[in-house]
């Protein structure tokens, strides 16, 4: 059983980080800032979240759980019931939307030492979901690896570049990502 002060501090740090990120922007807030504003030591922040990417991941966790729930048990086409190609399109659209809403947080969560992102539970779940849909539409294909490739364009730094530097709107980015996925599903 976890100690009461530990869970209290974890929540406190999470809430403080969320507030500071909203107030000043993710890039302008240091780990020291968060610890100081929460009134705890730096060590406490790092014990709970490992590193900056881990903290960002924890902040994304709630929204990712909601999406995951919708994918597993929600209504079609996101949830079960629709054809695989439609489910994939719906899923990619939803995940792109999530990434757009929290773009800086996603970037922070991916700026890890050695691609910790790909070892996160969330990424594994997304990959597994895409792989299942691929296998359904194209048995025999290397679904796992294709899933990684299909998810690659959702990387935070690319999304940020397309949207902020190149000023593409969400629909255009979505169409490109979805079209690629659709092609793979359809083709022999």
The residues binding DNA (CB under 7 A) are 1-6, 8-9, 30-32, 39-44, 46-48, 50-53, 112-113
41 binds, among DNA, its own copies, none (CB under 5 to 8 A by kind): DNA
Residue recorded with tokens 């959702």: 154
Q: What distance in Å separates the CA atoms of residue 130 and residue 124, rounded to the nearest whole number?
A: 10
Residue with smaller CB distance to its own copies, 30 or 145: 145
* Nearest one of 3, 108, 111 to 47, comparing CA atoms: 3
Question: Is residue 173 packed enough to be buried (19+ CB in 10 Å), middle (13-18) or exposed (0-12)?
Answer: buried
Closest separation in Å from C-beta 164 to DNA: 19
Residue with smaller CB distance to its own copies, 69 or 157: 157
Q: What distance in Å separates the CA atoms of residue 159 and residue 105, rounded to the nearest whole number?
A: 12
Residue with smaller CB distance to DNA, 46 or 182: 46
Residue recorded with tokens 């695989």: 84
Closest separation in Å from C-beta 65 to DNA: 22
Q: What distance in Å separates the CA atoms of residue 181 and residue 167, rounded to the nearest whole number?
A: 23
11 binds, among DNA, its own copies, none (CB under 5 to 8 A by kind): none
The binder of its own copies chosen from 117, 122, 125, 135 (CB under 8 A)? 117
The DSSP element (H or E) to which 111 belongs, if any, is none
172 binds, among DNA, its own copies, none (CB under 5 to 8 A by kind): its own copies
Q: How many degrees, rounded to 5, is the angle at CA 157 between CA 151 and CA 160?
A: 105
Residue with smaller CB distance to its own copies, 22 or 186: 186
3-class SS shares of the chain: helix, strand, coil, % to 5: 80, 0, 20
Residue with smaller CB distance to DNA, 55 or 181: 55
Contacting positions for its own copies (CB under 8 A): 110-111, 114-115, 117-119, 141-142, 145-146, 148-150, 152-153, 155, 157-158, 160-162, 165, 168, 172-173, 175-177, 179-180, 182-184, 186-187
């Amino acid at each position: 059983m976890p100690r009461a002060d530990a869970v209290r501090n974890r929540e406190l740090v999470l809430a403080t980080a969320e507030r500071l990120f909203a107030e000043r922007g993710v890039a302008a807030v240091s780990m020291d800032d968060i610890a100081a504003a929460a009134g705890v030591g730096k060590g406490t922040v790092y014990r709970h979240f490992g590193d900056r990417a881990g903290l960002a991941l924890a902040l994304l966790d709630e929204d990712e759980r909601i999406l995951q729930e919708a994918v597993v048990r929600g209504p079609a086409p996101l949830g079960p019931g629709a054809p695989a190609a439609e489910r994939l399109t719906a899923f990619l659209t939803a995940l792109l939307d999530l990434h757009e809403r929290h773009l800086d947080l996603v970037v922070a969560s991916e700026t890890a030492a050695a691609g910790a992102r790909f070892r996160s539970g969330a990424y594994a779940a997304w990959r597994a979901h895409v792989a299942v849909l691929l296998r359904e539409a194209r048995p025999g294909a290397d679904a796992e690896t294709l899933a990684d490739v299909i998810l690659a364009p959702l990387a935070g730094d690319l999304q940020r570049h397309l949207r902020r530097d190149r000023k593409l709107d969400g629909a255009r980015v979505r169409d490109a990502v979805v079209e690629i996925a659709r092609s793979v599903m359809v083709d022999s």
